[in-house]
């Protein structure tokens, strides 16, 4: 396993290199790219040249790329066009909020998907299965921004049960426990919005996989030996049925990140998603470039994690 992980990490290096080239060229090829953003009509030619030199845009594109790459490898992604802060400092401020929302939503989505998928498979062709199927199709067809607005209107505006947006209630001095509880209330709606988007489709994968596993010979053998249904389900069926779900989650990691971006925008969650929209609006290209490359890195990393989980969930899988 250790050799396999090292080999995969080494394979990821050229992939990340090509990804960084593609993202760098994409940013510079966009209409209104970095060169045009710094063309300030209020400056004379000398002032514009000085500004371009400050951000390194007065050099050939390939030199700009290799300088950016060398600095990025040590955590220096340059300076923001809009705030003149270090991009690494901006990302460090926003990343914890996104990791919190993403992590909680992923755990909730996986838990619900496995629970509902197994329940639907065990109760196949019953009213429970039909109800869960209809709800799943409804969830698959519902866009993220529509679901978020619905939840906001129902639970925040109409019922006044949960906060509308943000991470804390402003203007209120809480003790540590109440501050934690207030933050927890603010986290509920964004978590539901993000997790429910994927529970619908993941539960269908889990249902199909569980039904297939329940038909295997080793399940019939366990049943013939008198194993209880609960033991059969959790000791034999679940570990094998969850493997296809791991593949789906790894493949859809980019979609999860996209859903998090929209969710943060809806609920004014101060994370990477809100930062991405703001940077896009003000054409803050150093921030956008750093975020795109980091997103690609996370996608590659999660695919590696999925491969490792295969071996953990199914001991029959061996990596040579």
- Considering only the top CATH level, what class is 97-313? mainly alpha
> Which residue stretches of the chain are H helix?
2-29, 34-37, 45-54, 61-72, 87-122, 127-141, 144-151, 176-214, 217-224, 229-231, 238-251, 253-266, 272-282, 285-313
pLDDT for the residue 320: 58
Name the more confident of 144 and 204.
204
pLDDT for the residue 313: 66
Whether residue 245 contacts residue 201, with contact meaning beta carbons closer than 8 Å, is answered with no
Backbone angles phi, psi at 11, to 5 degrees: -70, -30
SS3 59: coil
**Which residue(s) pair with 86 in the sheet?**
79
Confidence category of residue 19, pLDDT binned at 50, 70, 90: confident
Whether residue 264 contacts residue 191, with contact meaning beta carbons closer than 8 Å, is answered with no
Name the more confident of 41 and 14.
14
Query: Where are the chain's structural domains?
Result: 2-72, 97-313
Span of 12-26, 54-68, 198-212, 288-302 with lowest mean pLDDT: 54-68
Chain segment 308-317, per-residue pLDDT in tens = 777 666 666 6
Residue 194: partners with Cβ closer than 8 Å, 6 or more residues away: 101, 102, 105, 109, 144, 256, 259, 260, 263
Residue 189: partners with Cβ closer than 8 Å, 6 or more residues away: 148, 151, 152, 155, 156, 162, 163, 267
CA 53 to CA 38: how far, in whole Å?
Answer: 11
pLDDT for the residue 39: 60
Chain segment 209-258, per-residue pLDDT in tens = 888 887 877 777 777 777 777 777 777 777 778 878 887 887 777 667 77
- Cut 0.85: pTM above it: no
């Amino acid at each position: 396993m250790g050799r396999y992980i090292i080999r995969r990490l080494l394979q990821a290096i050229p992939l990340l290199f090509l990804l960084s080239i593609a993202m760098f060229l994409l940013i510079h090829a966009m209409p209104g790219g970095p060169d045009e953003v710094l063309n300030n009509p209020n400056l004379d030619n000398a002032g514009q040249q000085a500004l371009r030199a400050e951000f390194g845009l007065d050099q050939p594109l390939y030199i700009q790329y290799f300088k950016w790459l060398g600095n990025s490898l040590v955590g220096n992604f340059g300076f923001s066009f809009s705030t003149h802060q270090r991009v690494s400092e901006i990302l460090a401020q926003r990343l914890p909020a996104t990791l919190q929302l993403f992590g909680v939503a992923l755990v909730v989505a996986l838990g619900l998907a496995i629970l509902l998928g197994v329940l639907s498979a065990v109760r196949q062709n019953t009213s429970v299965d039909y109800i869960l199927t209809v709800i799943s199709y409804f969830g698959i067809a519902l866009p993220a921004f529509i679901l978020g607005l619905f939840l906001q209107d129902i639970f925040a505006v109409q019922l006044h049960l949960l906060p509308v947006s943000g991470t804390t209630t402003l203007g209120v001095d809480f003790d540590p426990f109440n501050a934690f509880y207030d933050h927890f209330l603010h986290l509920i709606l964004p978590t539901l919005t993000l997790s429910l988007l994927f529970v619908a489709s993941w539960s269908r994968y889990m249902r199909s996989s569980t039904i297939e596993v329940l038909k295997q010979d080793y399940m019939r053998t366990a049943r013939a030996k008198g194993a209880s249904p609960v033991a059969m389900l959790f000791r034999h069926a679940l570990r094998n049925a969850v493997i296809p779900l791991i593949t789906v989650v790894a493949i859809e990691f980019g979609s999860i990140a996209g859903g998090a971006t929209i969710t943060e925008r809806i609920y004014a969650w101060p994370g990477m998603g809100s930062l991405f929209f703001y940077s896009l609006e003000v054409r803050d290209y150093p921030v956008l470039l750093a975020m795109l490359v980091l997103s690609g890195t996370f996608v590659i990393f999660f695919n590696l994690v999925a491969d490792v989980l295969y071996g953990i969930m199914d001991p029959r899988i061996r990596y040579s």
